[in-house]
Structure 1
Amino acid sequence: MKIPKPIKRGLTYRIQLQIAGKKFSCTRDTARECEQWAVQKILESKIHKKEAEKGIKPTVTFKELIEQYFQHTGQYNPSASSRKWMQGQIKVFDEKFGFLSGTSIYDITPRQLTNWRNKRSKEVGANTVLKEISFYSAVFTFAQKELFLLDENPWMMITKPKKPKARARRIHNSEIDLMLKALKYERGQTPVLPDHYVAWGFLFAIETAMRRGEILAMEKKDIYDDYVYLPKTKNGDPRNVPLSKEAKALLELIQHKGEKLIPQSENAFRLMWEKRKAAIGLSGLHFHDTRHEAITRMVRVKKLPVEVLAKITGHKKIDILINTYYNPNAQDLVEAFNEI
């Protein structure tokens, strides 16, 4: 079989193969690495074909399957956050799965996966377990329907944890004041210290409903008179977020010369937030609660229709926006009713 010529894509090279009617591709730093990958892939296909003819199943461990899935799917995923999450799963895979990591995918049973689910449920919350089960199930479906290595997916034969009730946490003004005091920040102050930028991000999130990662990724070049442009978001699509008078005032407080508005890493920002809120007894407050608070305020104060609100917040599913993030209290509903 003739090796196709790698195609240059920016700073990398990409090569595509078609073996037995199936397409394979990879991206590497050099053309030579692409060609080496292609040769290895062709050799593997020939070996697998001979083994299949003899009734011998190829040896593929759980860990090897995960890595192959990421190579095939992860590098082309449009969402950088999804790629990063998958890389994180691979990094801690041996620790998370123990002996199952090196077990052949043909030998992994629903009972073993159920035992893993029970153990994992004692370590993390139900939402995390559900997300991980969904990911690993997709990996085995890839082996079943794309690689034709498996006849059935053992992850489909286990019971999933019950999805917990959606969080509906609002943020009281007194809690905002407590957090600002803990972060040594006063409204209208130009941020200078790391604490200040965390406080500034907290206030900006309440005004815009932007996620923490989106705020930390903001660059000055994407700030316009009346809106901020977000080229990268959680769902992979860019969006524009209109700026309130209060949000504009917060942006005017940023005086440093750097490109990013908040000159901190996501980890440093998160640790500072967690440390300060714990010190004042607000451990139950999550930064993401600002999104609930902001969305509820937008409906109550701005009277925004749901279709406009969805464009601002980036929600593709209206039911999630309404049932999860819009959290009015009884008085909010009474006022809205009387206004109508």
Structure 2
Amino acid sequence: MTFHSHDDTFAGLPVTEFPGGTATGPTAWRVSFEDEDVSQASLSEGFRDVFETFLTAHGATTESLVIGPWGYAAFAYAPLEQLIAAAPRLPRLRSLFLGDITFDECEISWMKVGDVSPLITAFPQLETLQVRGGEDFSFSPVASDGLRRLVVQSGGLPAGFTAAVLGSAFPGLTDLELWLGTPDYSGDTRVADLRPLLDGTLFPQLCRLGLRNAEIADELAAAVAHAPVVARLESLDLSMGVLSDRGATALLAGQPLTHLRELHLQHHYMSDETAAAVVAALPETRVDVSEPQGEDDDDRYVAVSE
């Protein structure tokens, strides 16, 4: 699986294309420009011009913004500097998604992004940051009192990226979603790197946690089974990875999960019997065990890698 289409909604709002789209109410504007010159290594002048036009038309009122292709993302780095420079012209921005790019526009593993953490500093009112990337995708420790939701989508999340997120000060964070991916695409984050998070010593308001798209899904499930942070979660998401009977059995054998409102395990390698046992063990929880992938030990893949 990879990204076949753009998101229709973001931050609870319908997405409207710019240019070309017409908003009839509150909307998340999506700004993009596909450059025919795929060899261009600098920010596309076409994107620069489109974004400038957008700022003039809607910058003062925009609360939610989606950035799609900024040229050909395999060669041109994300427009981080342009976004940061535009902060005074986006005074109401609360939600930002950088990298709403489908596989035919650029594979996720090829996307050159850079260090996305300065976006949080540039937009102190930002409540939601969602970022997607692969090559040269990084984060630095940062502080924000306002950030509530952080989503990092990758086919392989480096341990350094994970450490920087966990080294950040986000006292109001309620939702954290990390796509860990596979070592084939630099995803070397291990369970040990996540211990400060699993121990419950970080992000005191956290109530929704996603450790998704993980080749180490079984190890994560075994760790989560005894992780103190789980006791205060409403939603736990281990979907899109290679969770098997081994991980699911460890999860059920650990601490009670009956307090969870949601448990997401879709795209998995559990047997039908084990998947049914998970659902039966949590009758008051919305458990998603859809998208079974089979049980072949030698043919297991995360949902998004390349």
Fold conserved between structures, TM > 0.5: no
TM-score per shorter chain, which class?
A: under 0.3
> Between Structure 1 and Structure 2, which shows a larger proportion of helix residues?
1
Q: Radius of gyration: which is bigger?
A: 1
> Between Structure 1 and Structure 2, which shows a larger proportion of strand residues?
2
After TM superposition, the score normalised by the length of structure 1 is 0.25
